[in-house]
Amino acid sequence: MNTTPIVHRILFTGTMGVGKSTAVASLLDAPLVSTNIDDGKAPVAVDHGDIVLDNGDRLRLYGTPGQRRFEPTWRALAEDAMGLVVLVDHARSDPLADLAIYLENFAGLIARTGCVIGVGRLRPGASPSLDALAEAAARHGVVCPIVPLDVRERTQVLALVDLLLVQLESRGV
């Protein structure tokens, strides 16, 4: 029996500098494919790489550009995606507003698939708490795992992707 492997696309999104490329690269055995474009404003990239699953299928992981001016690119990437990882930089001035940008822009993808939220550079006792982030997500109709994350740590990023895959499986995606 000859079966063609299936390619599943998972997006990593968040603000510029949150660690999307680092998170994706941490999971890969091969080098990250980077499409850096210097548009004169800030470096822009849609980075990606594949993970081959035991059954031969592939997870194609994409890091989106973080700037809002690339919302059309976000929509195009989301069209065939199977799930979303939202990365939030807790050290930025307004992580709740940052989270809202991505939950709003990827609402369609989240509704038909699912998402998880990883919070980087989480400072103990600092605001907003993980509970406050969960409440903000719920106001956008999103109930999903929200976990602290160091994007440089493969095991933590892998655990986050595993949470997403479990969520997708439970939804029948």
pTM value?
Answer: 0.92
**Could you tell me the two tokens for 72?**
């059309």
Residue 1 lies in a domain: no
For the segment 139-167, what is each residue's pLDDT rounded down to a tens digit?
999 999 999 999 999 999 999 999 999 99
CA distance 147 to 36: 29
Q: Are 11 and 20 in contact (CB under 8 A)?
A: no
Of 72, 58, 71, nearest in space to 29 by CA? 58
**Long-range interactions of 126-133: CB distance < 8 A, separation 24+:** 126/90, 128/90, 128/95, 128/96, 132/96, 133/88, 133/95, 133/96, 133/99
Q: Is 2 a member of any domain?
A: no
The one-character DSSP state at 4 is P
Count structural domains, the chain. Answer: 1
pLDDT tens figures, 43-87: 667 889 999 888 888 999 999 998 898 899 899 999 999 999 999
- Domain residues for the domain of 126 are 7-168
- Residue 85: give its domain's CATH number: 3.40.50.300
